[in-house]
Amino acid sequence: MKDLSRYRNIGIFAHVDAGKTTTTERILKLTGKVHKIGEVHDGAATTDFMDQEKERGITIQSAATSCFWNEHQLNIIDTPGHVDFTIEVYRSLKVLDGGVGVFCGSGGVEPQSETNWRYANDSEVARIIYVNKLDRTGADFYRVVKQVNDVLAATPLVMVLPIGIENDFVGVVDLLTEKAWIWDDSGEPMNYEIQDVPEDMVDDVAEWREKLIELAVEQDDATMEKYLEGEEVSIDELKACIRKGTHDLSFFPTYCGSSFKNKGVQLVLDAVVDYLPSPTEVKPQPEVDIEGNETGGMAEVNPEYPLRALAFKIMDDRFGALTFTRVYSGTLKKGDTILNTATGKTERVSRIVEMHADDRQEMDSAQAGDIVALLGMKTVQTGHTLCDPKKPATLEPMVFPDPVISIAIEAKDKGGSEKMGIALGKMVQEDPSFQVETDQESGETILKGMGELHLDIKVDILKRTHGIEVEVGKPQVAYRESITKVLTDSYTHKKQSGGSGQFGKIEYTIEPNEVGEGFSFESKVTGGNVPREFWPAVEKGFASCMEKGMLAGFPVVDFKVTLTDGGFHPVDSSAIAFEIAAKAGYRQSFVKAGPQILEPIMAVDAFAPEDYVGDVIGDLNRRRGMIKSQEPGPTGVRIKADVPLSEMFGYIGDLRTMTSGRGQFSMTFDHYSPCPRNVAEEVIKEAKERQGVAA
């Protein structure tokens, strides 16, 4: 039986370029997992893998690695920082018990860090904050602390103060012990001395320590009383208060350092062990049924309970597909048969491995609280629940946003098509927000994803990881079609040829449905004019037409059909006749019911230095954007706007040009909205041309 109190399942998440991977590297070095530190800029980091196909075994690490610190096992998950991969971050946060939010000492709280922070709040993950890159020009620890307060609306609990800044950054003062940790310039993490607080910092240290104690003692009435009465509060008592406050998300212990220079990472590791929760201290996951309704059951962290596990990441390496799984409850043994609730199929666990950097340890079993990789899973995708077939339950329903952008690709050489098909199949398993389909008319392979960058990276993976060169078409936006009017109509299908004929008459009303309701069908026929057994055929006929609208061939959304009356022939009527009548009725009525094109609208969150705000807003207006808010911050202004996706292609280049390289943005899909007439006409024209070519 493992001692779960000595486990920490943590993730490291941050904005692009804040130094997550470098920090993970330092942690692996300090904990003795790797002996030589890999640098990101040399392309040799352990947890980054895109260019290291020579050693494909390393890929794994991006997902999870385990190491030991102060007799505690840390399972670390390195999450992506880029906006198009927030789904990955979201999935990872779901399976973590605690996290380290890394912020750049000069960039501070950037848009993406905010999205990740919001996700972590939704998942109620306890976190510590690490302000990295204090050796960079323009770094300011105190400014970032203020930003955490102002922008993230979180309370930072400052645990250390930096000694020196930018080039002069040499170490930190631990406010609890009032000792200074000073590193030399060798870059070795173990080359440090613990000294007294530098004289010029004594007052600052006393002031910040006071703030720390005041915030911490609020967590425990007895300790608070002691403090107010002027008694000395011991370090252990303070630690217990900080631990409680961190678990309750009342505040976030905040550290600083420079991962690249190997300064300050030890204290972060100590904080992970001291303040972040073990698997038994977090709220158990609620169990749901397949529809996502809570059943009242909980996946308790107990090896004796029925098995509940969540597959949160799938990676392919030289040994086959690895399914990274967090076991929430029960025990999983090698050779067990488990049920995948998403597919309803059972799978056999052929091997269980625990990842230790690029090394793997075979295990016979895993139990509640563990993060392991399973081999031999056939149909499991990211986010599927694996459970005991005798007592099934789902941990969380699978909800992924619909892709909003697509590109057509084809392999440059003829032999590459089959290879490409296999590679894409693996990539879809790994990333549920990425879809692949084949265009029926043109035979092209269509990739669909969450944004331009998302698809760029997928094409890049095809090229680098799988060695497949592809031609890429122009990005296509995922438009939709709908109707605006209520229309009552009828259609009679009759065909009289030799033998039995066909007859089906329907009278119906079509109308726009509520937004997001999709297709719905109702029959109000009374008196048997359309016998009940033919109603499903009418519904099927209308439903099958939804995939292709009449304007430009895009899928139709939010559409309701009510069957009101009709007629049948006792001999010639059949289900097929009524289905054909419904299809023809749809084609006849859709064009009369005020059809329109809907376009995806993205919620854009842009950041620009003050001097450039006017240009950025002017540019968003030209892109048909609706400005929703402007929030001035310490280093510039954040602009939130709703902008059609079709206008956002190439935006990152334009934004950088406008803001002399300092602007940033992130965007996520928000909703569909009707296209202006001139845009709709253009979209229909382009679609007709494409279909003409395909035909």
**Residue-level length of the chain:** 695
DSSP tag of 166 = G
The C-alpha atoms of residue 678 and residue 548 are separated, in whole angstroms, by 21
Beta-carbon contacts of residue 35 (< 8 Å; ≥ 6 apart)? 29
The most confident of the ranges 211-215, 328-332, 624-628 is 624-628
Q: Outline where DSSP puts E strands in 334-397.
A: 337-340, 345-348, 351-356, 359-363, 365-367, 371-375, 385-387
Residue 39: per-residue pLDDT? 42
Residue 111: per-residue pLDDT? 64
Average pLDDT over every residue of 563-576: 86
β-pairing, 98-104 with 7-14? parallel
Residue 88: per-residue pLDDT? 60
- Radius of gyration, alpha carbons of the chain: 29
Reported as a pLDDT band with limits 50, 70 and 90, residue 50 is: very low
Residue 623: per-residue pLDDT? 92
Q: Outline where DSSP puts E strands in 15-111.
A: 65-69, 72-78, 98-104
CB 409 within 8 A of CB 447: yes
b/e per residue, 240-264, with b = 16+ CB within 10 A?
bbbbbbbbeebbbbbbbbbbbbbbb
| Tens digits of residue pLDDT in 389-418 | 888 788 776 566 677 778 888 888 777 778
Reported as a pLDDT band with limits 50, 70 and 90, residue 38 is: very low
Q: Which two tokens stand for residue 542?
A: 């209308």
Q: Which of 158-162, 239-243, 264-268 comes out lowest in average pLDDT?
A: 264-268
| Tens digits of residue pLDDT in 575-616 | 888 999 999 999 899 889 889 999 989 888 888 888 889 999
Residue 349: per-residue pLDDT? 86
Average pLDDT of the chain? 80
Q: Which of 633, 502, 514 is nearest to 569 (CA)?
A: 502
Average pLDDT over every residue of 453-468: 80
Q: Which of 11-25, 354-368, 554-568, 656-670 comes out lowest in average pLDDT?
A: 11-25
Q: Which two tokens stand for residue 233?
A: 């509060």
Average pLDDT over every residue of 493-498: 76
| Tens digits of residue pLDDT in 467-488 | 888 888 877 788 899 988 999 9
Is pLDDT larger for residue 259 or for residue 115? 259
Strand partners, 193: 182
Is pLDDT larger for residue 170 or for residue 584? 584
Residue 668, pLDDT above cutoff 70: yes
Amino acid identity for residue 139 in this structure:
A
Residue 78: per-residue pLDDT? 63
The C-alpha atoms of residue 390 and residue 337 are separated, in whole angstroms, by 10
The C-alpha atoms of residue 162 and residue 181 are separated, in whole angstroms, by 10
β-pairing, 487-495 with 179-183? unpaired
Average pLDDT over every residue of 509-532: 85
Average pLDDT over every residue of 324-332: 86
Residue 558, pLDDT above cutoff 60: yes
Residue 499, pLDDT above cutoff 70: no
| Tens digits of residue pLDDT in 623-657 | 999 999 888 866 678 899 999 988 888 787 788 88
Place of tokens 């955490």: 148
Residue 20: per-residue pLDDT? 61
The C-alpha atoms of residue 509 and residue 522 are separated, in whole angstroms, by 10
Residue 279: per-residue pLDDT? 82
| Tens digits of residue pLDDT in 342-395 | 788 888 888 888 876 556 778 888 888 888 888 878 778 777 888 888 887 887
Amino acid identity for residue 631 in this structure:
E
Share of the chain above pLDDT 90, in %: 8
Q: Which of 374, 428, 372 is nearest to 400 (CA)?
A: 428
| Tens digits of residue pLDDT in 53-107 | 333 333 334 456 777 888 888 888 766 544 445 566 666 677 788 888 888 887 7
Residue 112: per-residue pLDDT? 63
Place of tokens 């895009």: 554
Residue 597: per-residue pLDDT? 92
Is pLDDT larger for residue 597 or for residue 664? 597
- Give the side-chain half-sphere CA count within 13 A for 169: 27
CA distances from 244 to 7, 226, 239, 390, 513 (A): 17, 17, 9, 38, 49
Q: Which two tokens stand for residue 523?
A: 């029959």
Share of the chain above pLDDT 70, in %: 85
Q: Which two tokens stand for residue 224?
A: 């608070």
CB 103 within 8 A of CB 131: yes
Give pTM, 2 decimals.
0.65
Residue 462: per-residue pLDDT? 83
